[in-house]
Amino acid sequence: MQYPKYVDPKDLHRETDAVLEKKVSALLAAMTEEEKLNLCHGHENPAGMQVANAGYNPGVPRLGVPEIRMYDGPAGVTSVYETTGLPVQEMLAATWDTNLAYRYGEVEGSENFAISGNTQLGSQFDVVRVPQFNRDKDMLGEDPFLTSALAVPETKGIQDAGVVAVLKHFGVASIGTDMQDAADQIVDEQTLHEIVFPPFEAAAKEGGAGAFMCCYNKFNGAYASANEYAQKTVLRDMWNFKGYMMSDWGANHSLSTAKGMDMEMPNGTYNSN
């Protein structure tokens, strides 16, 4: 099978915010309760099909709401198909090159789109905090200013190809050796907004990111998947974020939709009907 080398932006039709609001309102009014609930969590791939390597949601076919096909990152597109093996993000950061960051994201987005995807589970904009963390190589370093400066063009590069950039792992990740074993992180508000959150804020406000993914651990007493300060106070109220929030795979621990979690992944253990 031959895929296009890249997606030409002129072939992508983008609606205005006003038109999108009207369409979303109309769709919600037409959906059944079951259809709405099914959008709150991931689903298994259709029988016999490997449509996405990471996560899948069937959408609402009868109303034309498309499937959500997720491919993993951040160093390129992890797939059953042939894709470009990009250098790890740590190497991208070493270039200090915003133009290269855009091209990096452009490769991710265009290849994701070319193999039928519409969601890129990256990039990873956590700030490096300890040298032994097993995902340091996937991050843009320990400097929040540099990470922010590169996060914006990389996010734009992904989304200019018609693919949703999912920023991860929102909260206070990158501690200990493994993400799933991290303890509750107690971090004051000044540190959150000067060190941890700036890359995410920049990518959301300036890069136009469409989605966020939470981290596994607790911070300041609550799991990130149900942390109202992060998901409601910061994302929605402070940053006016209009996209959606998803859990990391198995990172949700309770019914969390009222606390800011829009989509539990990879299934609906808690946020389901």
The catalytic residue positions are 248
Tell the burial category of 179 from Cβ atoms under 10 Å away from its Cβ (0-12, 13-18, 19+): buried
Alpha helices in the chain (DSSP H): 17-30, 33-38, 89-95, 98-114, 144-159, 189-191, 198-205, 228
User: If you search the block for the tokens 């039928």, which residue do you land on?
Assistant: 116
Tell the burial category of 67 from Cβ atoms under 10 Å away from its Cβ (0-12, 13-18, 19+): buried
Q: Give the start-end residues of each E strand in the chain.
A: 55-57, 68-72, 119-121, 164-170, 211-214, 218-219, 222-223, 244-246
Instruction: Report the C-alpha gap between 39 and 64 in whole angstroms.
Output: 14
DSSP 208: -
Tell the burial category of 156 from Cβ atoms under 10 Å away from its Cβ (0-12, 13-18, 19+): buried
Instruction: Report the C-alpha gap between 97 and 153 in whole angstroms.
Output: 10
| C-alpha 26 chain-centroid distance | 26
Instruction: Report the C-alpha gap between 119 and 158 in whole angstroms.
Output: 9
Query: Does residue 160 contact residue 193 with C-beta atoms inside 8 Å?
Result: no
